[in-house]
Each structure stands twice: as structure tokens, then as C-alpha cells.
Chains A and B, each alone.
Chain A
Amino acid sequence: MRDLPGLPSRRGFLKASAATAAIAGIAVPAKAEQKPEPVALTEYKPICLKPSEWAFVMAAVARLIPSEGEGPGAIETRVPVFIDMQLAGDYGRAADWYMEGPHDAAASPLRGWQTPLTPLEVYQQAIPVFDEWCKVTHGKIFAELDAATQDKALTSLQKDEMKIRPDLREFFTILLGNTKEGYFADPMYGGNHGMQAWTYIGFPGARGSYREWVLKHNVKYPLGPVSISGERA
């Protein structure tokens, strides 16, 4: 996504939010709810992804929202778990989508899903294709490349430099989309662990109770977020 000229940049916005979250973060943990930590990502048993696919998703999301630098990354927020859960569910099966076709790979992306494959099938078929391309081009499968090369490979994928099969052309788009969704969705869906992403950008979550704040201008909202299932941070 390119920043629009004349408007505050997305990165700038995130930076500013991060600063406020950092200040808010000082007081919040005192009230944070104690929850047992879920199983570590390295121990996690994927519901639908095979080990090679899981390794790819882990490596890819770690580059799309990296852990180094500001704010939590996709790994700390358990985005891979979100993606696995979603692909194992209705989304992965395209359960409530129109899938009868005709599918026209040449159609404008604005015309929606133009492949007979479900999102899970796109992951399952695109990952080996992309890994093979990485091996040919960079010498190793994606998960084994160093970070800088991974970034390069993802950029190539985004620009479709490898001319991927038409029925897989949505792969990068849904990978990036699912990563963002896992980062910002309610924790009940497996990602946004501990509401770290919400805390980072200063989003107060599923509270829906701000009537008294409508007329308070330029006052920072002090409370940390709450999730749909009632977690507090």
C-alpha cells in the first residue's frame, strides 16, 4: 500500500500510536489478566497445514510483519495459528463462497475469486511451487533463506516475477491479507495474542462504551483493550 501524498503516512501513524501505547503500557499491566500461556509455536500441532507448509507460513509472516523494530511481530502475536485455524475452517474451504465458476484467470482482480481452488488449496499448491522457485533462484527453499533473501523472494512473488500458474495468482494477496487479519483480529481466532497488536496501535478493542468521550478532545484514552471473550490488557 502506498501512502497518499499530503496525508500522514501509515508508518508515521503507527509510530505515533506506538509511542502512546508505550506510555499507556506502563500503567496497564497492573490490571492485565493472568491467562495460562498457550503452547509455544514450535510445539504447536497445526490443524490443517503439513509441516512444510507450516514452516513456510512461519517464515513468511515473520517477514511480512517482522519482530525486530517497533511493535510486536507476526510471530509473537501467533499469526501462524490464526492462518492455520482459518484455513482449517469455513474460510479455507470457501464454504460460503460461490465456487461454481466460470473462473477466468485473465479477468480483472476486481471481479473477485477467479480460481476453482479454495484458499487452503491455494496455500497447499502454491507453497511447493514457490519453494521450488526459491530453490532454483536462491538455492534453498524459502524457510531456509536468510531474512534479506526472503524479503527479496516475497517481493518477487508479489510482483509475480516467477509467472505463477493463473489459478494460484491470488496467493501473495491472501497470504498478506491473512497475515494482517491474524495480527489485528480478535484473539479468539488464534492471532493477536494477548491483544498485543491492539495495545501497540492504541485500539481499545471490543468495549463499545465511549459516549462520555465524544466531547473530550485531545485527551488520550487511558484504558487498555478488551477482547470479545473478555480478556483484558
Chain B
Amino acid sequence: MKKLVRVLGVLVVLGLVALLAFIFVPVQRTGPVTQLAADFKPAKGQGEYVMRAGDCLACHTNEGGKPFAGGRAIQSPMGTIWTTNITPDKETGIGNWSLDDFRAALYDGVTPNGTHLYPAMPYENYRKMSEEDIVALYDYFMHEVEPVSDKVEETKLGFPFNLRFGLRAWNWLAASYEPGFKPTTGQDEQFNRGKYLVEGAGHCAACHSPRNLFMAQDGIDDTSKVFLTGGEIDGYTAPDLRGRDSGPQKWTTEQTAAYLSTARNAHSTATGEMMLVVRDSLQYLTKEDNMAIAAYLKKIGTAPANSASATPAAPIVTETEKMLTDAKADMPLGPRLYLDNCGGCHFVTGKGAGETFPELDGNSLVTAKSPKGLISVILHGAELPSTADRPMKMRMQGYDKRLSDEEIAALATFLREGWTNKAPAVSAADVKAVRDLAHH
């Protein structure tokens, strides 16, 4: 008996020690993946370019706030996460950070005092960035960004998510892979440039990959089958990018690149979060880089490449188009609402007009597993950003006042089943959920 107590006592002590070690022993920080020459200096503009590719500005700037001063609310399933001030201000920003501190935040998700960052900061992806880009980015933040003294609201999640040390275990699952970028051997330079941008700085997987049981990105590179097969972000749909019917697979590489740099192409337009990505990030990339991203995405398609060109040889008149053209007075509610509200721009063909009105037939946002993006666009409309190549801010108005939850459900269901689309129906409760989200 005594012996048992003693054994138990030892186990408890060991457990406590392990727990304390887990909480208090500093995280091993990742060093540089390549040793740069002592006199390495990033090229002029390289740092800003990496910042654009990584889209730091979008999250670390509040609506109407100073660039990089943080304070923007990111809605996560765990609660509101406030982005931090990353200007070189010494008190409230990152002015005191060394290059090693900076790298540790991007690679390991830890701040200089060992606090774990919430993975709203996509260090899972930034871990793939090259040392050259890290140095360039560090240089940019230290010397080109205006310091702003601004103490932003501190993130206070509920229990157990407020225990940040728990992220240490999470990181073992999500961000413990070998840092740095591994090009695919046998692929050309364009492919690997695209791969680097998509998997690393671009952190496309943060939205476009599904999340696993632990809320980590399910697949952070193309060795994973589900990498970039669609996810959800802040109540919005991030469509699949690899399936046979996804945009990057159906469109030509040029069309995908145009979508990335101007938010519009012959088939579709960027809405929701993606519109912001184009506005703040992708439009600043070079044509070559956007082509590289498009070419890479096409090559990692999960279905055999669609041999048919983007426009079918003979246009097929679908049953849906026939019904809409006939405009019979006894048509069901869904198509009737389409004619009353949508047909003027998207037409009975559901094909819209290139670079202006996105096609709804075969639109991955319309047919996405989660209908939230579609519902959100119907409710609140959408606006294309003004980009250098396409300055016109095209706008679709919202229908939140014109249509009820039941009507939007009928309309969205029609869109998801119309023409050649085949996606499950939408309920009034689905619509209500998205409508209520807007009030947060």
C-alpha cells in the first residue's frame, strides 16, 4: 500500500513537472533555413513586395486605421482575435524585435517573450518562406513602415482558448514540419514559383483548405489530397481550387491570372474575402507571379485536366434556360425570383457577361459545399475592387431588404440546381444564419 502511494506520488510529481515544463520551458525557436552572405541586402522594393504577397496589411490594419497599426477584429470560432500593431514603434509595435524574433513569429508563431500567437496569424504557411524574403520583410517593417504608437485591444478568448500555452501542443500538430520551401523536383521554375507563393506567403490554404478536427489547416502543401479543396472563412465560402469544376481547373491559366490581378475574368468575379485579397495583395504581384500561381494551381488539379477549352464548342440550351426564356406564369418561386431580381444582369443563360457579371452556371461559389458565400452575396451584394488594370468598381446591390429568408432560400436553391449546377438545397434557416452574422 505504502509503495503504491509512493509510486502515485512520483507520478503526480512527474506529471506536474512535465506540465510546468510544457508551460514554462521556452519554445525552441527556428533559425534561418539558409545562411545568407554577411553582406546580403534585399533588393529595393523586395520587402514591400513580400508584404503584398503575404497580405500583412489586410489583417494588421483596422478599417480606417493607420497601416500596420493593428486593431482589426478577426472573428474566429473561438472568439474575437484582435490583430496586433506591427509597426516599428518600440513601445506598442515590434520596434524592439530582432530578426530572430521576427522569424520566430513567422515560423513558430511565438513572440519574443514566448507568448504563442493564435493561428489566425498564418505561421503554418509563413513557415515556408525563404530566409531572403524574411530578411527583406524584416527590413521593410523596420525601415519603411511608419512607427505608430497605438496599443490595440488585447485578444481575450474564453476558456480554454485563453490558455495560450496550449497552442504549443497544437503547433506540434500544425506547424512542426521542417521550415523553408521545398520545390518539387522535376517541375519547372514557374511551377515552383507559383507553389512557393501559394503555399508560403500567399497562405491560400488558410482559407481554401478545409480544417481538420483540431482546426488546423488540413494540408499545407500539394502532397495532401485535400490541400486547397475548399474551406470556410468568417462565415464565407472559400471554394475548391483543385476539383474538375473549380475555377483554376476550368479556366485557362491566363483567365485565372486575370482573376487574381483584377478580381474579374471572362467567367467570374471575386467576392467577399477574395475581393479583399485581390484589392490588398494580388493586384500588386507581377504578371509573371500571378501566371505562376495560376499555372501551379492548374497543375495540382485533382481530376484529369479538362481537355475541352473553357468555352464549349456548341452552346447547350439547358432546361433551366428554356424555362426562364418561356417565363410561364406558373413557374416555381425560385426561377420567378431569378427573373424578377437577377436575370437583367446574369441572363437566362446564367452566363452573365465577361469581366462584368459573373456566370452563375458552373460558378464554384454558387455550388460550393457551404452555401454561405452565395447567400452572403445575395443578401449584401458585392463590389469589385479598383485595380490598376481594371479600375472600374463594379457593384451588385444586396437584396436583404427586398427578399425574405424563404425567398432567398428558394432563389439560392434554384441557382444551385439550375443549368448544369448540382448542389444541395438551401433552407430558410441557412439564410437566417448568414443574415444574423451581418449584425456582429
Residues of chain A touching chain B, judged by Cβ–Cβ distance below 8 Å, are 24, 27-28, 30-31, 207-209, 211-212, 221-224, 226, 229-230, 232
Contacts and interface: CB of A to CB of B under 8 A. Distances in A.
B339 A209 contact: yes
Given A230-B402, A232-B336, A224 B344 contact: no
Contacts of A30: 329-330
Contacts of A226: 340
A222 B329 contact: yes
Contact of A212 (B328, B348, B401): B348
A30 B330 CA distance: 7
Contacts of B401: 229
A208 B347 CA distance: 11
A223 B402 contact: no
A223 B403 contact: no
Contacts of A208: 344
B26 to A, nearest CB: 60
Given A27-B328, A209-B347, A223-B329, 9 more contacts: A27-B329, A207-B344, A209-B343, A209-B348, A212-B347, A226-B340, A230-B399, A230-B403, A232-B340
B325 interface: yes
B348 A222 contact: no
B17 interface: no
A220 to B, nearest CB: 10
B297 to A, nearest CB: 34
24 contacts: A27-B330, A30-B329, A30-B330, A207-B339, A207-B340, A207-B343, A209-B340, A209-B343, A209-B347, A209-B348, A211-B347, A211-B348, A212-B325, A222-B327, A223-B327, A223-B329, A224-B329, A226-B340, A229-B401, A230-B340, A230-B341, A230-B399, A230-B402, A230-B403
B333 interface: yes
A28 B329 CA distance: 6
A224 B340 CA distance: 10
A208 B342 CA distance: 9
A98 to B, nearest CB: 32
B56 to A, nearest CB: 42
B384 to A, nearest CB: 21
Interface in B132-185: none
Contacts of B341: 230
Interface of B: 324-331, 333, 336, 339-344, 347-348, 399, 401-403, 407
A221 B340 contact: no
Contacts of B347: 209, 211-212
Contacts of A27: 328-330
Contacts of B327: 221-223
A16 B410 CA distance: 35
A190 B164 CA distance: 59
Contacts of A222: 326-329
Those 3 A-B pairs whose CB atoms lie nearest each other, nearest first: A209-B343, A27-B329, A230-B402
A46 to B, nearest CB: 26
A31 B330 contact: yes
Contacts of A223: 327, 329, 336, 339
Nearest to B349: A212
Contacts of A224: 329
A226 B324 CA distance: 16
A217 to B, nearest CB: 15
B328 A31 contact: no
B336 A31 contact: yes
A211 B336 CA distance: 16
A223 B336 CA distance: 9
Nearest to A209: B343
Contacts of A24: 329
A24 B328 CA distance: 10
Nearest to B339: A209
Contacts of A232: 336, 340
Contacts of B331: 31
Nearest to B404: A230
Contacts of A207: 339-340, 343-344
A27 B326 CA distance: 14
Nearest to B341: A230
